[in-house]
Amino acid sequence: MRKKFFVGICAACLIVLVAAYQMSRPVTLTIGIFAGNNWDVPQGEPYAIIDEVIKNFEAENPGVHVRYVSGIKKEDYSEWLAEQFVAGDEPDVFFLPADDFNLYAAADALMNLDDLIARDENFSADVYYPAAFNFGRRENTSYALPCESTLTFMFVNKTLLAKEGIALPKNDWTWRDLLDICRKVTRDTDGDGVPDQFGCYDYSWQQAAVANGVKLFRDDGRTSYFADERMEETVKFLMELRAVNGGHEVSPKDFDVGHVAFRPFTFAEYRTYKPYPWRIKKYSSFEWDCIKMPAGFSGGHFSVMNTLLVGMSSRTRHRDLAWALLKKICYDRATQQLILEKSQALPVRRDVILSAEAREIFSWDSSSAVTPADISDAMDEAGMPFKFKSYNAAMLYADAELNQIIEGVVPLTNALNKLQTEVNARLQY
């Protein structure tokens, strides 16, 4: 009896000692991240933000180490991440390109965050812009948090407009204003009979459709709405805008040398090329600014907001610590402040965009037409890209067909109905 009792005591002590040892062992969390940024613009210090996040997180969590593999190019990252999952060695927390989100969420590779969000008194989704937070949701479930975003604004060649005696459009401008200005500036300046100064370059039908309030697809991706009357209005506007150039195709060179008044730009490009030092390398021969996208006749100053997400592996062995690290990357105000200061993207927290620090950072040009309040308004109004499986294939087909309609190759009459019917058939595959 005593022997059994002694053995039992020893076993209990051993369990306690093993548990204590395991608790005292350092915990290592891993992050999946690619070099550079998500927006295809130059960046001087690709790991500056994540290194600062790791330093702060480790200081707040003694005994926890955070590691990542450096040097993975953005174009190689998706393949690398997939290989890690296949090997069962995926990171605890990882950055998630938009095209990969549905794949990992549908495969149960991403942790369902709803329970973690619900029981965390120190987390509120209300701090985020809706389009940013909802981008990490699938079928009403959160699988990732937003880290940073960018959206489209309209680049304005201030030098060209000033030369033509035209004032910089206000942020409440419309398609009618865009057409009027394009008609005024498009002309032959050297007398050779060929237009060499133009109103607009690279304004896509997708951007115009968003601005006119067109919802191209049902959320589940099973039905399209290309025959919507607002889409017809969009196509007619683009045909009118194209006609201003008299059949001449505006080239990237025309824009680069300052012969074009307007071009849509991502805000990441604006942040990169507006201030020193990159401005001396690009678009330095003319003064420029950016404003909100023009409102469509039946829409508003809308654009699509693209967002870089971060998720957790559903197989992480350190669920609570991984959640804390995820919040440190995506939710922590100090981290969001770093994104404001050091990246080309925009923070996803409203209070950071509207902060005094943001006003100071965006004050590199006192004559700038866009303010933090304008940026915040645009982010509040922004929509999300569609994420259903067959979206890219459907849009590739629709793009080819719509460009033929806009260019006058295919008559507009009944063309949108035919396009909708064909796209709907393809969505059922």
Choose among 115, 80, 114, 116: nearest CA to 97.
80
pTM of this structure: 0.88
Question: ∠ at Cα 325 (321, 327), nearest 5°?
Answer: 115
The pLDDT of 305-327, averaged and rounded, is 97
For residue 395, what are its two tokens?
A: 């849009």
403-415, pLDDT tens digit by residue? 999 999 999 999 9
Percent with pLDDT over 90 in the chain: 76
SS3 annotation, 24-56: HCCEEEEEECCCCCCCCCCCCCCCHHHHHHHHH
pLDDT of residue 270: 85
361-398, pLDDT tens digit by residue? 877 555 677 889 999 999 999 999 998 889 999 999 99
pLDDT of residue 365: 54
151-304+386-427 and 2-150+305-381 share a CATH fold: yes
| Fold entry, domain 2-150+305-381 | D-Maltodextrin-Binding Protein; domain 2 (3.40.190)
Give the whole-angstrom CA distance, residue 52 versus residue 43. 16
Task: Provide the β-strand partners of residue 187.
Answer: 197
CB of 114 within 8 A of CB of 142?
Answer: yes
DSSP 290: E
pLDDT of residue 369: 76
> Which sign does the torsion angle of CA 136, 140, 141, 142 carry?
positive
pLDDT of residue 9: 53
pLDDT of residue 12: 43
Choose among 368, 404, 148: nearest CA to 275.
368
pLDDT of residue 332: 98
Is pLDDT above 60 for 168? yes
Choose among 350, 344, 343, 340: nearest CA to 377.
350
60-80, pLDDT tens digit by residue? 999 999 999 999 999 999 999
Confidence of residue 235 (pLDDT cuts 50, 70, 90): very high
pLDDT of residue 135: 95
Least confident of 110-124, 268-282, 346-360: 268-282
Residue type, 418: K
pLDDT of residue 246: 87
Contacts 24+ apart (CB under 8 A), 213-217: 213/296, 213/298, 213/299, 213/300, 213/302, 214/299, 216/386, 216/398, 217/386, 217/388, 217/391, 217/394, 217/427
Least confident of 2-6, 88-92, 232-236, 328-332: 2-6
At which residue do the structure tokens 């001449």 appear?
248
Instruction: Write out the H or E segment, with its range, that includes residue 172.
Output: none
* Structural domain spans, the chain: 2-150+305-381, 151-304+386-427
Is pLDDT above 60 for 7? no
Higher pLDDT, 203 or 287: 203
75-103, pLDDT tens digit by residue? 999 999 999 999 999 999 999 988 899 89
Mean pLDDT estimate for the chain: 90
Confidence of residue 15 (pLDDT cuts 50, 70, 90): very low
The yes or no reply on domain 151-304+386-427 and CATH 3.90.330.10 is no
129-139, pLDDT tens digit by residue? 999 999 999 98
Higher pLDDT, 32 or 367: 32
Is pLDDT above 90 for 286? no
256-273, pLDDT tens digit by residue? 899 999 999 999 988 888
Choose among 199, 208, 195: nearest CA to 155.
199
Higher pLDDT, 406 or 10: 406
Helix (H/G/I), strand (E/B), else coil: 282: coil
Give the whole-angstrom CA distance, residue 197 versus residue 187. 6
pLDDT of residue 25: 58
- Please give the radius of gyration of the chain, using alpha carbons only, rounded to the nearest integer: 26
pLDDT of residue 271: 84
